[in-house]
């Protein structure tokens, strides 16, 4: 498909223009651009490009339909249900599995297993890819994930997340010798790296106006408490319980690395490699207002046995959880 940018459309961002032109979300337009499906006047496009009048836009393919973006039901995948009622399902995500697909047809995700057992979840979320899942955990992170069974419940959970009314607790194995307790109150943003976030020191020190920065640094607070330390003669590591209510991407990983204590296995943020590969982080507990009744609700996800053995191998003693 081809279009020519009119004079009235000049100086519009490419992702915004494309979303309007093909009737998709800006996120989907950005995915098309990132995938190389869009060219501007014969050249590969960038999502932040400001269009000039007369520029020719080529689109190699249309975005997938909402139905095509839904997770593929996979009844053969294991699914551990921690809690369920008429409004929601709480699941234990295993380490190594994506929470939901990023591309049509992607398999092996938690949302795919969910769609097979709770098909009503597939229509609960705004983004069909999410299949009712209300938040994400990184692939290497294990632990509790909430999913909605109705659109009303999904919207209520999303509002609670955005308002900071959902509290999460993590178990993290970190390098070094952190103090017995502490906190990191530092904004996070993408800074030239799609897969990584960073603390924005200039924003912290108010030495630069970041009001027009895209994306703007987002406030984030992580508190932590040491539960155990490695035995003498072993590499210096500690098991900490981390507490968050802001839920930014990679928040616990980035904050603990910024404090000088990156997670074991988190090579992206400066941690030592682990075997098997992957950072050692577990979402152990979530507290939230029930999406229908508003009642305070707590869901615990026990530490998986395989992960418990890894923690014990690094600590030299069973983890006290």
Q: What is the DSSP string of 76-143?
A: TS--EEEEE-SSEEEEEEPTT--SS-SSTT--S-HHHHHHHH-GGGGGTSSSGGGTTB-S---TT-EE
**What span, in angstroms and rounded, lies between the C-alpha atoms of 259 and 262?**
8
* 170 contacts 252 by C-beta, under 8 angstroms: yes
- Burial, 284: exposed, middle or buried (Cβ in 10 Å; 0-12, 13-18, 19+)? buried
- Identify the DSSP state of 267: G
Q: Which token pair is 116?
A: 């097979």
Owner of token pair 């869009």: 38
**What span, in angstroms and rounded, lies between the C-alpha atoms of 81 and 275?**
28
- Best CA proximity match to 132, nearest among 153, 161, 117: 153
- Burial, 196: exposed, middle or buried (Cβ in 10 Å; 0-12, 13-18, 19+)? middle
Residue 63, CB half-sphere, CA atoms under 13 Å: how many? 25
Q: Provide the annotated active-site residues.
A: 138
Owner of token pair 């490009």: 49
* 134 contacts 146 by C-beta, under 8 angstroms: yes
Segment holding 313, helix H or strand E: helix 305-315
Query: Distance between the two ends of the chain, CA-based, in angstroms?
Result: 57
- Best CA proximity match to 18, nearest among 67, 127, 45, 126: 45
């Amino acid at each position: 498909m081809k279009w020519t940018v009119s004079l009235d459309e000049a100086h519009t961002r490419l992702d915004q223009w494309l979303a309007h032109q093909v009737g998709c979300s800006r996120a989907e337009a950005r995915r098309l651009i990132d995938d190389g499906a869009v060219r501007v006047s014969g050249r590969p496009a960038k999502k932040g490009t400001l269009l000039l009048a007369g520029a020719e836009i080529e689109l190699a393919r249309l975005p997938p339909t909402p139905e095509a973006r839904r997770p593929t039901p996979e009844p053969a995948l294991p699914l551990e249900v921690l809690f369920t009622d008429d409004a929601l399902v709480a699941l234990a995500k295993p380490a190594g599995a994506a929470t939901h697909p990023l591309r049509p047809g992607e398999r092996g995700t938690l949302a795919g297993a969910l769609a097979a057992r709770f098909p009503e979840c597939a229509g609960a979320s705004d983004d069909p890819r999410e299949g009712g899942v209300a938040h994400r955990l990184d692939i290497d992170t294990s632990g509790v994930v909430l999913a909605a069974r109705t659109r009303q419940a999904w919207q209520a959970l999303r509002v609670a997340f955005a308002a900071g009314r959902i509290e999460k607790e993590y178990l993290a194995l970190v390098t070094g010798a952190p103090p017995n307790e502490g906190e990191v109150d530092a904004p996070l943003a993408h800074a030239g790296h799609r897969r990584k976030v960073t603390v924005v020191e200039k924003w912290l020190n108010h030495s630069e106006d970041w009001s027009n920065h895209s994306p703007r640094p987002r406030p984030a607070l992580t508190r932590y408490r040491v539960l155990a330390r490695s035995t003498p003669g072993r590499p210096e590591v500690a098991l900490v319980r981390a507490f968050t209510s802001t839920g930014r991407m990679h928040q616990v990983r980035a904050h603990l690395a910024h404090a000088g204590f990156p997670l074991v296995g988190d090579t992206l943020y400066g941690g030592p490699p682990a075997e098997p590969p992957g950072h050692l982080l577990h979402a152990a507990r979530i507290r939230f207002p029930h999406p229908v009744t508003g009642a305070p609700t707590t869901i615990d996800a026990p530490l998986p046995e395989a992960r418990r053995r890894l923690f014990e191998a690094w600590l030299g003693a069973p983890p006290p959880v």
